[in-house]
Amino acid sequence: MTALLEMRSIGKTFPGVKALDQVNLSVEAGEIHAICGENGAGKSTLMKVLSGVYPAGSYEGDIHYDGALASFRSIRDSEAKGIIIIHQELALVPLLSIAENMFLGNEVARRGVISWPEAWARTTDLLAKVGLKETPQTPVGKLGVGKQQLIEIAKALAKEVRLLILDEPTAALQENDSAKLLDLMLELKAQGVTQIIISHKLNEIRRVADRVTVIRDGSTVSTMTQDEITEDRIIRDMVGRDMENRYPARTPNIGEVLMEVKDWSVTHPEQARQVIQGAAFTVRRGEIVGIAGLMGSGRTELAMSLFGRSYGRNITGEVTLKGQPADLSTVSAAIRAGLAYVTEDRKVLGLILPEPIAKNVTLANLKGVADRGVLSHGREAQVAEGYRKAMRIRTPSVFQQVGNLSGGNQQKVVLSKWLFTGPDVLILDEPTRGIDVGAKYEIYNIMNDLAAQGRGVVMISSEMPELLGMCDRICVMNEGRIIGELSRNEASQETIMAMILRDGVLRDGATSGERVA
């Protein structure tokens, strides 16, 4: 076997962040090569370097492709050589038809006039190759995510692909759609298409990959062949330390009930269905409460509807904070009542990226640095500086643009912003998503400090190990309801999953029973 692609000593620096440092990757012709790494480890950046999104000259190191030194200046250059990348976010135009999407930028045309019969015929052929029977005129938006993913692959085949890169292709797919996609990958491999798959899912990697390269904190850690692949080894390489001390130790000091939610129900903003049904939970002083559940179980919806009715309509239920009925009717009322909500998507919902740290920190409590509506820039800078030190936000000054910070530091800015509102209860929605391991540990430490200060912390997370490692108590959600609670001792991945599965069975039974009646 010969190497189709060799990336040697690749480095890439963004303002304030070294995203890649000495990455080496060698992909042999005809293999499926998996790349593993935590969020923010640099996998996507590496692929952007490879595909010319970051043009030659903007990174360090060499790329050898097909026996020659490659210097791609744009995606067009890399596509011309048969390197095609399918991004995590699909790049299809939902209102255009399958055929139109298939040849977008590459139209079947003579002197600018599109030949539709030919385009449709070729689309049908390509769809057959990926196992789809859709008519070429169908608007892409009408298809499910799984089929859209297959169309992306068909689109790559239309371009005579030699090296196909799939960036977390199954992240948004159901089990059977994922299986279909993986089968297709193996089929393409048999036809001689070299592939790179970026994935977190170890069972998938074991199923399709010939070799695995693990990247951590912007550098390659190891490359292993199929017979060397074990889950433990991949995790150890990804994380860089043993699993045991991923969570800082803490002795909980739990006091009286701080917040109590009773019979909380929320209707979807557009549809008639109830997204949250009669949810109830409590948070005590000094306690970290986890909310576990599958995608779509309503965790974020519950949090956002509590926080100033920022989600949904027809919201009913009761909330008490420190024994008093709380007014959570608007965001500012919720903040006044002592609630803070750290959003899941910090870039879109949490921060103003082009603004400096100082201005982001004070945004939710501008009155705290103002007298009768007039801001004191001095006090603002002092407040921000205080949080910079307390949270160890790594930045030369608090006047640095937030957009230039790394994910972990951005998250610390968001946390600072909410701490400055002086909350009793903080709801943290996926607080460590997209953050590297070291910074995760720091965020955990901050959470422990918050609890030690006597605040209540609610942690929503999709990563079960994180919930198990951090929480005193875990509420399990399924289909808009809190179906049970597990103490730290009772909780394990198995008990949580069992609870969710049993609930699904019960409900199916109940609904079929109703149907019979």
Q: Does 370 bind other proteins (CB under 8 A)?
A: yes
Q: Which of 367, 453, 487, 490 binds other proteins (CB under 8 A)?
A: 367
Helix axis angle, 145-158 relative to 175-190, nearest 10°?
Answer: 20
Distance of alpha carbon 50 from alpha carbon 60, whole angstroms: 12
103 in Cβ contact with 116 (< 8 Å): no
Closest to other proteins by CB, 45 or 421: 421
Q: Which of 80, 93, 366, 390 binds other proteins (CB under 8 A)?
A: 366
Q: Does 257 bind other proteins (CB under 8 A)?
A: no
Closest to other proteins by CB, 335 or 477: 335
85 in Cβ contact with 167 (< 8 Å): yes
Site string for other proteins, 99-138 (x = CB under 8 A): ----------------------------------------
Strand partners, 460: 291, 429
**From the CB of 300, what's the least distance to other proteins, in Å?**
12
Q: Which helix (H) or strand (E) holds 102?
A: helix 98-102
Between residue 271 and residue 330, which ones bind other proteins under the rule CB under 8 A? 307-308, 310, 330
The residue assigned the tokens 């699993």 is 243
222 in Cβ contact with 214 (< 8 Å): yes
Q: Which of 147, 180, 211, 359 binds other proteins (CB under 8 A)?
A: 359
Q: Which of 343, 411, 432, 461 binds other proteins (CB under 8 A)?
A: 343
**From the CB of 15, what's the least distance to other proteins, in Å?**
7
513 Cα distance to chain centroid: 38
**From the CB of 378, what's the least distance to other proteins, in Å?**
6
Distances (CA, A) of 408 to 17, 18, 244, 452, 472: 11, 14, 21, 22, 24
Q: Does 363 bind other proteins (CB under 8 A)?
A: yes
- Both tokens of 217, joined, read 């904190």
Backbone angles phi, psi at 88, to 5 degrees: -55, -50
Distances (CA, A) of 280 to 18, 142, 291, 317: 44, 37, 12, 9
Identity of the amino acid at 461: S
Site string for other proteins, 377-406 (x = CB under 8 A): xx--xx--x-----------xxx-------
Between residue 2 and residue 41, which ones bind other proteins under the rule CB under 8 A? 15
- Site size toward other proteins, by CB under 8 A: 38
Query: What does the binding site for other proteins look like in residue numbers (CB under 8 A)?
Result: 15, 307-308, 310, 330-332, 334-335, 341, 343, 348-355, 359, 363-364, 366-367, 370, 373-375, 377-378, 381-382, 385, 397-399, 417, 421
